[in-house]
Amino acid sequence: MTTTIEKIQQQIADNPVLLYMKGSPKLPGCGFSAQAVQALSACSEHYTYVNVLTHLDIREELPKFANWPTFPQLWVDGTLIGGCDIIIEMHKCGELRPLIKETAVKYSYRSRL
């Protein structure tokens, strides 16, 4: 049987841009998740999300695994980028879009091999 940590590791490995959030992009469960979704949506690239309100095991284990206590959490290419404040700051200073686009290009190229 897969442990929660193994499930988290697999999700991060399988999804180049992954947002752990409260709720869903269409119905965020908190203001911080809503802001993160807005910033990511402005990048116009696909991303995956996990609703930690319906995955209580992940909600409990991910903060310990990531050493990051809050949600949302943005993971890009296997690396934790940070939470809402960092996502918003990167978006405002123009760093988020290039990072997301680079990752999208990298993985779309890989999938064609």
Q: Is 71 flagged in the annotation as binding?
A: yes
Nearest to 72 by CA among 64, 84, 61: 84
Q: Is 85 flagged in the annotation as binding?
A: yes
Q: Is 77 flagged in the annotation as binding?
A: no
Q: Is 59 flagged in the annotation as binding?
A: yes
H or E element that contains 53: none
User: In this structure, how many other beta carbons lie within 10 angstroms of the beta carbon of residue 13?
Assistant: 11
Going by the annotation, the residues of the binding site for [2Fe-2S] cluster are 30
Going by the annotation, the residues of the binding site are 22, 30, 59, 71, 84-85
Going by the annotation, the residues of the binding site for glutathione are 22, 59, 71, 84-85
